[in-house]
Amino acid sequence: MAGRTVTRADLCEAVYQKVGLSRSESSELVEMVLREISDCLARGESVKLSSFGSFVVRAKGQRMGRNPKTGEEVPIEPRRVMVFKPSNVLKQRINESLSASS
């Protein structure tokens, strides 16, 4: 199920085509939105985009892991991870496109 990867340049081009801003303004707009999302997540805030999904930062505590090569136990440091939870609208849209292509 290898699909095409959408890049920042693709997003900028879509904004340029659909909104009518100049290419440089479109690029600035996309960068500002991505920067704001990144900044919020870095501060530990959740980002919820209606009908799309939520980006949530979760704290993981220290735990013991195992080196698969040697079997030796090693501590895994506490860290924060980002999780994306798609909205029901997005899940439904993805599944509709799957059934339409069958």
Residues 27 and 49 in one domain: no
Whole-model pTM: value is: 0.77
Residues 18 and 65 in one domain: no
Q: Is the pLDDT of residue 93 over 60?
A: yes
- Domain range spanning residue 67? 44-101
If you write DSSP's letter for every residue of 50-91 in order, what string do you get?
TTTEEEEEEEE--EEEE-TTT--EEEEPPEEEEEEEE-HHHH
Q: How confident is the model at residue 3 (pLDDT cuts 50, 70, 90)?
A: confident
Residues 27 and 65 in one domain: no
Q: How confident is the model at residue 20 (pLDDT cuts 50, 70, 90)?
A: confident
